[in-house]
Amino acid sequence: MNKHTILLAIVVIVVTIVSCGNKTPDDELRAPQFPYQSYLDSVDANEDEIFPTIGDDGNGFNAISHKIRYPQIPDSLSLNHFADSLLQFYNIVLAFNTMAYDIGTAERYMSESDSGLEQADALYSINLSGISVREIKEPLQCISQDAASLIRRGITPNSVENKAIDKLYKELHNYTDNLFNAHLDESEFDPRSIIEDYDVIHNKALTDTVSFRHELMQRLLREKIFARRCVLARELAYANYRSPVRDDKELVAIIDQLLRAGEYSPLLGELWRIWRLSLQINIFGSRSNDGAMYNLFYNDMRNSIALTYIVHLTTHPGDKIAFKEFIRLAQAYNIVRNSSCMFGNNANLEDMELLYSVFNP
């Protein structure tokens, strides 16, 4: 064997070794990149900022009632009465929750000079373009404008009886009773119907805080069936919750892709709440009543999921589970400052409901 042959053999061996060394163990898949890193980088670039700037939410303190963005129903469903009823219900609750956020922010800072004026202006000009039911739209506008007037006078809106609220609830019940009676029952989603070894996965997600999170993520990334991926994503949230290598950015990146897929799963609403919770508490905002809250940003994703539910329900009107999960999605409160949680915003309550209670039933 001549020198050139020997040299070539050595090069081949070295290249082979290096190539093998660059492979991840067992050809592991990488999680998608966190899709909102640019917002966090903007904070790092400006040392004067505490929270990121995100669109119309600004630094997470802007008034938003006049900027509500409603989902647009597809043209193919524009004449579908059931789809329109679902959309109207969703839009009504979205407007009410957005109003509650601005009122809560104003009340939180009322003792400060000039505080609440931005919220008062937004409430007076609330965007109700997504609501066509006059009997509900008019009381909503009245409530919002009354709240604006009270804030300008330094009076806490939630402490004053408002007859428009009674009228709103009466008309809302009239509107929704038939809708609910026809479609709402006690049906609940059973993940065992999707994944045969669900009990094994769930038990490991709750007890194995060392290695199972990584194993579960690899299984999720390899899974091709959307319904199974959604079940595994929820279990990944459980496994991530107490893991010593907890990574909420990674969890958000994985769930984000599922929420944007446009495919139906009864878990979409719950995954959206976990996605929002992770962003609020550990990435963009905080647990505090005085933390940034990005409800327009969060609700853009909620709107997209709502349409996925509506499209599914128009072709599966007998799907009781889908209807219940759609209602839960619609009724989920915005992140608000004047929450039932004494020491922080209501993301803390969602943390207890969605994650902590799973470990402490």
- 307-344 tens-digit pLDDT: 999 999 999 999 999 999 999 999 999 999 976 766 79
Under 8 Å CB-to-CB from 301, ≥6 apart: which residues? 259, 260, 272, 275, 276
* Whether the predicted pLDDT of 261 surpasses 70: yes
Under 8 Å CB-to-CB from 341, ≥6 apart: which residues? 348, 349
Encode pLDDT of 176-223 as tens digits: 999 999 999 999 999 999 999 999 999 999 999 999 999 999 999 999
Highest mean pLDDT among 65-69, 163-167, 334-338: 65-69
SS3 264: coil
- CA geometry: angle at 53 spanning 47 and 57, to 5°? 145
Task: Say how many C-beta atoms besides its own lie within 10 A of residue 301's C-beta.
Answer: 17
* Whether the predicted pLDDT of 79 surpasses 60: yes
Residue 110 CA to residue 242 CA, distance in Å, equals 38
Q: Say what the pTM is.
A: 0.91
- Domain-wise residue ranges, the chain: 75-183, 189-319+330-361
Report, as an integer, the average pLDDT of 234-246: 97
**What pLDDT does 361 receive?**
86
Percent of the chain, pLDDT > 70? 92
Closest CA to 291 of 241, 224, 247, 348: 348
Encode pLDDT of 32-59 as tens digits: 999 999 999 988 888 778 999 999 999 9
Residue 136 CA to residue 116 CA, distance in Å, equals 26
